[in-house]
Structure 1
Amino acid sequence: MASIKLGDNNIETSGSLPKIGDSAPDFELTAQDLTTKKLADFKGSRVVMNIFPSIDTNVCATSVRKFNEKASGLRNTKVLCISKDLPFAQKRFVDDEGLNDVTNLSDFRGNFGKNYGVEMTSGDLRGLHSRAVVVLDENGTVIHSQQVPSIGDEPDYLSALKPLL
């Protein structure tokens, strides 16, 4: 369990992120066309998982924009933006913003948050995901993992992308 901040309040998560060297847990997430995506669908590509509470908040939206910008220059890399938002809200956001280099995936009916230890179990946002980044190599092995200590802070983009450069 991780302890993070939401403003001045301490918030607990359902567990801990996978550690560097771990095999990433499988997942079932919902794509914008309502199909199910699994980790195996991205095998052979490096994967950046940008995990956050809601696309409709400023810091979360900023992280999607920044990872979209950075993704265009990364070789053999998929950027997955993962939240509990409905796929329709995620699609609206990327369409409105003209973002083409990220894949938004919804955990609205899955257990990704619990499997990756990012589901908030206390506080006003309980049930949503905390802000985190997990980076995988082509074989699904974790090569970077960051639980952002405060929901209001952006992830460390440089550290997340460094193993991919």
Structure 2
Amino acid sequence: MNPEYENLIRRFEELPTLIAEKRSKLLNVKQQQEEISYRLSKMEKYTAAEVAQETDKDGKKKYTNQTSRDAETLKRLNENNDYQELKKTLEELGRTRDITEVELQKLQDEFRANQYIVKVLQVSRISDAEETILNQERVIEQLKDTIKNLKSRIPEEGRR
């Protein structure tokens, strides 16, 4: 078999494994994103509740309206190193997810293209086989004609 075809078939055979690995990586990244998003949400809610319940020395709410509570919550979250690290990790995971999705799509496209190429090669091989059979049939017909011609040249007595 042609080495080029062998390489194509080898790649075609390994693509499903590569696609499965990318899908697995993508699922893992999505799971990590969900876990971190959940942790961030808990930190945001805890900080917001803490701010909402904070009182001054007279026992009155320190932040009397939603705007001031939101601003203080945001300020505290921006100062929270754990929160900032989690946000940074979530952003990195987002980039990893985007890249992995592109890589997965590329592998899937390559697989579909190779499926088409393999089908074309199969049709080509079938066509080549049909042509070979037709050539062999022509040769057989020519041999029959040659035998017939040879028989016609042999005198009647020698044919017996």
Higher alpha-carbon Rg: 2
Considering fraction of residues, name the structure with more helix: 2
TM exceeds 0.5?
A: no
Q: Please, what TM-score do these two structures have when normalized by structure 1?
A: 0.18
Q: Which has the higher strand share?
A: 1
Q: TM (normalized to structure 2)?
A: 0.18
